[in-house]
Chain A
Amino acid sequence: MQTLDMAEIALRDLNETLHAQAENTNQTAWEIVNPKGAHAIACGLDAPIEVTVKGHTGYYCGGMNKQATINIKGSAGPGVAENMMSGTVVIDGDASQYAGATGHGGLLVIKGNASSRCGISMKGIDIVVHGNIGHMSAFMAQSGNLVVCGDAGDALGDSLYEARLFVRGSVKSLGADCMEKEMRPEHLEILADLLEKAGADAKPEEFKRYGSARELYTFKIDNAY
């Protein structure tokens, strides 16, 4: 285990060290201590390493991640795992706004609650939230899966494209062009897999599925809001 102490090294040195890890590095386990809410921790990683952040993080922790597994032993600030391409980011606490925004791939697990705009414009990422999510989540979400074990706030899935949304609890309101859809066997299979990967204690049958009504896919006067 390699330890990087942010009380002693600068953010630039920390990220430079992690960026220097190659595909075949044997230094695969890293620990970051004293993050103290710093921004851009462990962003842009591109190696199969495991990084554990012991504390809370600021904006964009794990941003644009590829391959790496990042564990945040605390809560995460806005934009955690934004535009993630692959790998895994697990947050023990809560996540602020825009968690997993525009993510193309990989798995984001939030064991607490997520704030507003969780999964905004997601493009293939899988997000599992053990708790609740805030308003305008999955806004313009294009593809991937958003699983919410708790409740969803207002305007879920507004202007949704092809992302799948699964919610176990209540949905305060659906956004424009988002509708409840039939839960078919293939969806239960996807859910079961994601819940297992995320260590979430929930049964697929307890969820409802939401998706795009596809009424906004072409410009016409009836679509004007």
Chain B
Amino acid sequence: MTDTANGAPRTTPIQSATFSNPVNAEIRRAAATGIYDIRGGGAKRKVPHFDDLLFLGASISRYPLEGYREKCETKVTLGTRFAKNPIELDMPVTIAGMSFGALSGPAKEALGRGATLAGTSTTTGDGGMTNEERGHSNKLVYQYLPSRYGMNPDDLRRADAIEIVVGQGAKPGGGGMLLGQKISDRVAEMRNLPKGIDQRSACRHPDWTGPDDLEIKILELREITAWKVPIYIKIGGARPYFDTTLAVKAGADVVVLDGMQGGTAATQDVFIENVGQPILACIRESVRALQDLGMHREVQLVVSGGIRTGADVAKAMALGADAVAIGTAALIALGDNDPKWESEYNALGTTAGAYDDWHEGRDPAGITTQDPELMKRFDPVEGGRRLNNYLRVMTLEAQTIARACGKNHLHNLEREDLCALTMEAAAMAKIPLAGTDWYPGKPNTSY
């Protein structure tokens, strides 16, 4: 820095881009506490996303449909490969798995209520199935997780589908955490663990190890449920081509693909931000695997991780997905991170929109908590109404785009309807850069 004793001007202080204030603060926090940061949610870093794609719409070369008038179907059927009773949904937007334990009982009930009003499915999570969730969910997908907390054959048989969770986008290769603050009597009993301890959910299944074993595990689940319900396999966005291929080989009816923006109840921040791929980079590879196997549309693909709007839904479907799942967005629709609790978020050292210490169980909105007093703030009937509204808006938005592209069913959206705004998005999704017919890596072309 320039000496100013002689009155010469000083050099402007410059913050390091590498050692930024947030980075330095985290170094100081780590030095003070000796433990890594644990939080909820998905990747917060900016990554190529659906915002980097646009629809072309229609003009002379394509013929549009009249908005709000001409029919644009939204129904989707999941699990047509082997299950006697595939799941039929009114819209291709489903509610992703979130656990009772991570969420309060009323919050799970609200997810069931909202999904049922909208004609779609909701999903259990680590910790088992609650009666209020089953009772309020017309279509309920039962997650079969490595921990097997609360897992029992009665709940398996009363589910409408089974989702074998191999991984999730926030932490592919990692297990779950539920810290002691949220282990109430009821949560402890359902999970068969002492109250108040920090729980680990295993990162791999206890009774199978590879795709050949998984095939036999699926056989067992089908035998126990008399081949009635679809079997989904959920994978994180690690190696989507190979993982999708192996899931199909193992016998999945549906592949659920979750990108790094997908949320978790709690895990290490370093894991969330540094392991796994953005959903935009995963969809094309997963669809390519299905196409190479001749199973695209035979095995349905549900994608999740950062789905927020009907535009995201439409883009995911144009890239080849059959449906999407939402988690974080559903919680926000219920009231999570609502600015009306700003003063309380401030008291927790955060702000509305940034609150992610869900594992601490002090959620002012009463959603990601097991605290009886905080839970009273959340009305499951109102929450269900809000979620239904949001799901319907997303569907209307997706229909609006589909009609503009001349499609009478959301499933008819196609890659040809899209262009990419950035080189990164073009390369990941293999969608031509806007104004060109080229994307990086296009066969028989060069940079």
Contacts and interface: CB of A to CB of B under 8 A. Distances in A.
Interface of A: 11-12, 15-16, 19, 39-40, 43-44, 46, 58-60, 63-64, 66, 78-79, 82-83, 85, 97-98, 101-102, 104, 117, 120-121, 123-124, 139-140, 142-143, 159, 161-162, 217-221
Given A39-B219, A64-B153, A85-B152, A120 B192 contact: no
Contacts of A123: 148, 192
Contacts of B225: 44
B224 A102 contact: no
Contacts of A140: 200, 202, 206
Given A121-B206, A161-B194, A218-B180, A11 B200 contact: no
B220 A117 contact: no
A161 B192 CA distance: 10
Contacts of A142: 191-193
Contact of B207 (A85, A98, A221): A98
B335 to A, nearest CB: 29
Interface string B215-226: 011011001111
Interface of chain A, helix or strand or loop or mixed?
loop
A13 to B, nearest CB: 11
Interface string B200-242: 1010001110000100110110011111000000000000000
A142 B206 CA distance: 13
29 contacts: A12-B223, A40-B219, A43-B223, A44-B157, A44-B223, A46-B153, A59-B213, A60-B207, A60-B216, A60-B220, A64-B153, A78-B207, A78-B213, A79-B208, A79-B220, A83-B148, A102-B151, A102-B207, A121-B148, A121-B206, A139-B206, A161-B193, A217-B180, A217-B197, A217-B198, A218-B198, A219-B35, A220-B35, A221-B35
Contacts of A161: 193-194, 197
Nearest to A119: B206
B30 to A, nearest CB: 10
Contact of A82 (B194, B202, B207): B207
Among B152, B224, B227, chain A packs the most CB atoms within 10 A around the CB of B224
A11 B207 contact: no
A35 to B, nearest CB: 14
B138 interface: no
B351 interface: no
A121 B35 contact: no
B35 A104 contact: no
B118 to A, nearest CB: 32
B202 to A, nearest CB: 6
Given A78-B207, A123-B192, A217-B198, A83 B152 contact: yes
A165 B191 CA distance: 20
A59 B220 contact: yes
The 3 closest A-B pairs by CB, nearest first: A44-B224, A221-B34, A64-B153
A63 B226 contact: no
B179 interface: yes
Among B179, B219, B225, chain A packs the most CB atoms within 10 A around the CB of B219
Nearest to B35: A221
Contacts of A46: 153
A66 B224 CA distance: 12
Interface string B180-197: 100000000001111001
Contacts of A98: 206-207
Nearest to A42: B223
A188 to B, nearest CB: 24
